[in-house]
Structure formats: structure tokens, C-alpha cells
């Protein structure tokens, strides 16, 4: 048992599955009191049950993080939060002209605007207590344009900008609050599954538990940015890979290669 987060209240949005679930389990194993906000009540409860079975503490609330009044209400029912993990996310994964207006707006509502609603609900408390950590899960697609992800990539570029600006603002104000950005590349989760059936992926997927452990270590060390895997090192490879993705995507949709 690790106790680095002992007694800390850790709130994870979208903690009911994928990376959020792994972060919830990892935080609980490090002694945190875990709170999960998920749009799926069943998914959140199932993760809490897993945590309790191993002797950890966890509670779940059904919250749509894109709904401002629901976020305000849920926050008023929570204790103070020491570590906020902005993790809830959605992806459409279609070429721009095949993505509906509602799908585009929906991606920004969850992946970008919700960061503001949830973070603002807890930031004042963190500043007045003089400590707190906000972790924003962006994406490798928040650093690099990927074919078929114009809405997702833009929403994650914005998430990266949000977290970096927050970090600068918190540091300038000497608030004791830290903002971390995490840019994982391809993870094997329910979100990526639908996309990877359309995009045959050329990189081996990252394991969510491994990423969750690295995030927990980054929280302890208060590292500002975590890019996984070392995308900077593999950037030329990543670019080549995405060009190939584009070709395959166009093939898959029967579109002309001349569009490239
Ligand atoms: P990944 O872990 O790859 O980001 P998943 O789809 O496995 O992807 O997990 C995303 C989680 O975010 C899910 O548990 C999902 O229910 C949750 N989620 C999606 N939209 C919302 C929302 N509007 N409010 C709260 N949770 C959400």
C-alpha cells in the first residue's frame, strides 16, 4: 500500500471508465478519498465498488460536466477538493464534413468548456486553503493535428492552453495551486475502440494503469507537463504515422487521394 495521497480528496471526472477509472484506482491505492463524477451513474458506482473491495474509500455522483447548473449543484454537495482530475472526454472521430454541428458543439462542451465549469467550482477553495492541484487530461491530439479529429484535436489543443494558462496564473499569484497537463497518446479504452476500428493504429496502445501511475507520480512531484510516451522524441514518426492514417482514412471512406 502506498500512502502518498493519504487523506487527500481527489475528484476525477469521467472516472467511470478508461483512463479515469485507472486514475481512480491508483489514487485510492495511494490512500486518497476518491470522488467520481461521471455521466454514467452505473459506471461510477462500479468503480467505487472495485475500490471499496480493496479497502479504499470512494463515492460517485452522476454529473454531466457540460451542464453548468449540474456542476454547481454537485460541487455544493462535495467537500473541499485537493486534487481535481479533469478527465471526462468524448470523441467523434469523423472527417469534418461528416461531423454534424451538434457533434462538434458536443465535443467542445465536454472536452473544453466543462474544464471551466468544473475547475471554477473548486479553484476558489484551493486558493483560499493555499494548496491544490488541477490535472487536465489533454491528448497527443492536443499537440498534433490528426486526420478525422478536427473537433477532438481542437478541443484538446484548447484543453492544453487552458491548463498552461492556469498554471501561469496560479504561479504568478503565488497561490500554492498547481496545474498539470497530461498528453497521453493512444490508449486502449472504450473511447479509442470506435475510432481504432476506422483507423488501423500503428502504435502499440498505452496501458491506462501505467499512465495512471505516472500521473500519480507527477502529482506528487508537481510536474507541470507530462507527455506520453515521449512524443517529442517520436514526433517525426508520429507525423509520418498520421499522414499514413489520413491515407487509410480516405481509403476507408472511399474518398479521392487527391484530397490530401
Ligand atoms: P478515455 O478513458 O479514453 O478518455 P472512456 O470513454 O473510456 O475514454 O472514458 C470517458 C469517461 O468520461 C466515461 O466514463 C464517460 O461516461 C465519461 N463522460 C463522457 N461524457 C461525460 C460528461 N458529459 N460528463 C461526465 N462524464 C462524462
Q: How confident is the model at residue 107 (pLDDT cuts 50, 70, 90)?
A: very high
- What is the SS3 assignment for 246? helix
Nearest CA to ligand 1 atom 6: 191
Q: In testing the pocket of ligand 1, which one of 12, 15, 19, 20 has its CB within 8 Å of the most ligand atoms?
A: 20
Catalytically active residues are 152
Contact assessment for residue 10 and residue 81, using Cβ atoms and an 8 Å cutoff: yes
Q: Is 142 in the pocket of ligand 1 (CB under 6 A)?
A: no
Contact assessment for residue 78 and residue 60, using Cβ atoms and an 8 Å cutoff: no
State pLDDT tens for residues 56-90.
999 999 999 999 999 999 999 999 999 999 999 99
Q: Is 65 in the pocket of ligand 1 (CB under 6 A)?
A: yes
For the CA of 208, the closest atom of ligand 1 is: 2
Q: In testing the pocket of ligand 1, which one of 39, 115, 185 has its CB within 8 Å of the most ligand atoms?
A: 39
Could you tell me the distance, in angstroms and rounded to a whole number, from the CA of residue 259 to the centre of ligand 1?
33
State pLDDT tens for residues 125-134.
999 999 999 9
CB atoms inside a 10 Å sphere around CB 100 = 10
Q: Say which residue the cell 468524448 belongs to.
A: 90
- Residue 255 CA to residue 148 CA, distance in Å, equals 13
Q: In testing the pocket of ligand 1, which one of 89, 91, 121, 140 has its CB within 8 Å of the most ligand atoms?
A: 89
For the chain, the DSSP string reads ---TTTT-EEEEETTTSHHHHHHHHHHHHTT-EEEEEES-HHHHHHHHHHHHHTT-EEEEEE--TT-HHHHHHHHHTS---SEEEE---------GGGS-HHHHHHHHIIIIIHHHHHHHHHHHHHHHHT-EEEEEE--GGGTS--TT-HHHHHHHHHHHHHHHHHHHHHHHTT-SEEEEEEEE--B-SHHHHHHHHHS---SPPBPHHHHHHHHHHHHHHT-SEEEES-HHHHHHHHHHHHHHHHHHHHHHTT--GGG-
pTM greater than 0.90 (yes/no):
no
Q: What is the pLDDT of residue 230?
A: 42
H-helix or E-strand spanning residue 13? strand 9-13
Q: Is 100 in the pocket of ligand 1 (CB under 6 A)?
A: no
State pLDDT tens for residues 11-62.
999 999 999 999 999 999 999 999 999 999 999 999 999 999 999 999 999 9
Q: Is 192 in the pocket of ligand 1 (CB under 6 A)?
A: yes
For the CA of 110, the closest atom of ligand 1 is: 23
Amino acid at each position: 500500500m502506498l500512502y502518498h495521497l493519504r487523506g487527500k480528496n481527489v475528484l476525477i471526472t469521467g472516472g467511470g471508465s478508461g483512463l479515469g477509472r485507472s486514475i481512480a484506482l491508483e489514487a485510492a491505492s495511494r490512500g486518497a478519498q476518491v470522488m467520481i463524477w461521471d455521466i454514467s451513474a452505473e459506471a461510477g458506482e462500479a468503480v467505487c465498488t472495485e475500490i471499496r473491495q480493496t479497502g479504499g474509500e470512494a463515492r460517485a455522483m452522476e454529473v454531466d460536466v457540460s451542464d453548468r447548473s449540474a456542476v454547481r449543484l454537485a460541487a455544493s454537495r462535495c467537500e473541499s477538493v485537493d486534487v481535481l482530475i479533469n478527465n471526462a472526454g468524448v470523441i467523434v472521430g469523423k472527417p469534418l464534413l461528416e461531423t454534424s454541428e451538434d457533434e462538434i458543439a458536443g465535443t467542445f462542451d465536454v472536452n473544453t468548456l466543462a474544464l471551466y465549469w468544473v475547475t471554477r467550482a473548486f479553484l476558489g477553495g484551493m486558493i483560499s486553503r493555499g494548496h491544490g492541484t488541477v490535472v487536465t487530461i489533454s491528448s497527443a491530439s492536443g499537440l498534433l493535428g490528426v486526420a478525422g479529429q478536427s473537433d477532438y484535436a481542437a478541443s484538446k489543443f484548447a484543453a492544453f492552453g487552458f491548463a498552461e494558462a492556469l498554471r501561469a496564473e496560479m504561479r504568478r499569484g503565488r497561490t500554492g495551486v498547481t496545474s498539470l497537463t497530461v498528453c497521453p497518446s493512444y490508449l486502449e479504452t472504450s473511447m479509442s475502440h470506435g475510432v481504432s476500428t476506422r483507423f488501423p493504429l500503428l502504435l502499440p496502445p498505452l496501458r491506462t494503469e501505467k499512465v495512471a501511475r505516472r500521473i500519480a507520480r507527477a502529482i506528487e512531484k508537481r510536474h507541470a507537463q507530462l507527455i506520453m510516451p515521449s512524443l517529442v522524441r517520436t514526433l517525426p514518426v508520429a507525423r509520418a504515422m498520421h499522414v499514413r492514417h489520413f491515407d487509410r482514412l480516405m481509403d476507408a471512406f472511399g474518398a479521392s487521394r487527391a484530397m490530401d
